[in-house]
């Protein structure tokens, strides 16, 4: 066959594609294929590994956490390069949106700084042993600010698959993201 196709059955329609308000496994399974976070989890060891960030460090006093982003990572559909400002926008949106599913996980953050386009620094109210895992792809997905008013229906991220179409009651269609930073490890090449 010219195409490799994988069909996955979901028990219900997704509840929308807004990364800040994801809820229910059907929606989360779709989102994890579209979006990325600063960190992720290794599927074999469950250890926290880099995703959009290639490294991070904790300040000696534990009150700052600084991430260096992979350079040149692109949002899908021509929305440009993922920058520290995009990370700041996304995390602040999680923190401020009263409908945010995971906003309470970021209550240790006092402020977010972006000293350059590839560096984002979280200033903390107190040392936090959980923030790196809270910034993993499951709870802190990065989205382009330009789509803010359309997040409910449009899903664009830097993740492994591009969401092409959603038909209520029928399903979603995806294609491989050729610009994904870890394209060699996408299951279906």
Which H or E element spans position 48?
strand 48-50
Name the DSSP letter for residue 52: S
Q: What's the CA angle centered on 146, arms 125 and 37, to 5 degrees?
A: 45
Q: What is the mean pLDDT of residues 54-68?
A: 95
Q: What is the pLDDT of residues 129-146, one digit of tens each?
A: 888 888 886 678 898 988
The yes-or-no verdict on residue 178 having pLDDT over 90 is: no
Question: What token pair was written down for 126?
Answer: 């107190």
Asked if residue 25 has pLDDT above 80, the reply is no
Of the given ranges (36-45, 61-70, 178-187), which has the lowest mean pLDDT? 178-187
pTM summary value: 0.86
């Amino acid at each position: 066959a010219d195409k490799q196709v994988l069909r996955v059955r979901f028990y219900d329609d997704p509840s929308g594609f807004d990364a800040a308000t994801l809820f229910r496994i059907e929606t989360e399974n779709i989102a994890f294929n579209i979006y990325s976070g600063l960190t992720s989890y290794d599927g074999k060891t469950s250890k926290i590994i880099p995703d959009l960030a290639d490294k991070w460090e904790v300040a000696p006093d534990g009150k700052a956490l600084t991430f260096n982003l992979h350079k040149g990572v692109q949002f899908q559909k021509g929305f440009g390069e993922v920058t520290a400002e995009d990370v700041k926008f996304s995390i602040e949106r999680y923190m401020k949106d009263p409908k945010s599913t995971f906003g309470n996980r970021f209550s240790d953050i006092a402020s977010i700084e972006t000293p350059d386009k590839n560096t984002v620094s979280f200033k903390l109210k107190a040392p936090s042993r959980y923030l790196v895992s809270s910034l993993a792809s499951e709870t802190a997905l990065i989205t382009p600010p330009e789509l803010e008013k359309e997040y409910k229906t449009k899903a664009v991220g830097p993740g492994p698959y591009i969401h092409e179409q959603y038909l209520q009651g029928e399903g979603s269609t995806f294609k491989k993201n050729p610009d994904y930073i870890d394209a060699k490890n996408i299951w279906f090449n």
